[in-house]
Chain A
């Protein structure tokens, strides 16, 4: 096997490993989020210490997920990184603009319910997906 083939194989294996790590960290983050959200009510009746610990563990695992995502991104080549960066920039912009407007809607009594952060998360996920698809189509 030539050096370049070996390097390419190593890179592909590394990317696969990074993707798997990101998946594990994301799953762990979801589990700790569920524990922090539901366990205080269902398991320890809002006791302060375990609730604080659950939130701290959730935050710590969240930072681990961010680092795993960073490592995942670093495994991409330059065009893949550009597509990812463009989609991230679009998501940040849409999230900020629409999030603040959504919050404003309730303040000025245009909607009768309180804005939910989950709606914003869904919007950001959909925006990121659209951004990634548009990026891949652009360079196809």
Chain B
């Protein structure tokens, strides 16, 4: 699954650690999601969507 987390994070000048803190996960998990190696659960995807003020589909796209 592709996602725009890295771009959205960069737009806000956030580090992976900062995003991890906001999402209440580890920095390694944020890194794995950004690289498309780990697909987040629906609750975590909703949390990311709420954090960036977007819909899930605007952040995560099925490949």
> Which residues of A are interface residues toward B (Cβ below 8 A)?
4-5, 7-8, 11, 77-80, 82, 136, 138-140
- Of the candidates B26, B33, B37, the one whose C-beta lies within 8 Å of that of A80 is B26
Q: State in angstroms the CA–CA spacing of A79 and B26 once bound together.
A: 9
Q: Tell me if B46 is interfacial: C-beta within 8 Å of chain A.
A: no
Specify the chain A residue showing the minimal Cβ separation from B21.
A8
- Of the candidates B21, B22, B31, B44, the one whose C-beta lies within 8 Å of that of A78 is B44
Contact B29 A8 (CB under 8 A): no
The residues of B that contact A4 with a CB separation of less than 8 Å are: 21-22, 24
Contact B28 A139 (CB under 8 A): yes
Q: State in angstroms the CA–CA spacing of A4 and B44 once bound together.
A: 14
The residues of A that contact B38 with a CB separation of less than 8 Å are: 79, 82, 139
Q: State in angstroms the CA–CA spacing of A98 and B6 once bound together.
A: 44
Q: Given that A138-B37, A139-B32 are known contacts, is A79 also in contact with B25, CB under 8 Å in the complex?
A: yes
Main secondary structure of the interface of B (DSSP, over half): helix
Q: State in angstroms the CA–CA spacing of A5 and B21 once bound together.
A: 6
The residues of B that contact A79 with a CB separation of less than 8 Å are: 25-26, 28-29, 32-33, 38
Q: State in angstroms the CA–CA spacing of A4 and B4 once bound together.
A: 22
> Which residues of B are interface residues toward A (Cβ below 8 A)?
20-22, 24-26, 28-29, 31-33, 37-38, 40-41, 44
Main secondary structure of the interface of A (DSSP, over half): helix
Q: State in angstroms the CA–CA spacing of A140 and B22 once bound together.
A: 20
Q: Given that A4-B21, A5-B21, A139-B38 are known contacts, is A77 also in contact with B26, CB under 8 Å in the complex?
A: yes
Could you name 28 residue pairs across A and B whose Cβ atoms are closer than 8 Å?
Answer: A4-B21, A4-B24, A8-B20, A8-B21, A8-B24, A11-B24, A77-B26, A78-B25, A78-B29, A78-B40, A78-B41, A78-B44, A79-B25, A79-B26, A79-B29, A79-B32, A79-B33, A79-B38, A80-B26, A80-B28, A80-B29, A136-B28, A138-B37, A139-B37, A139-B38, A140-B31, A140-B32, A140-B37
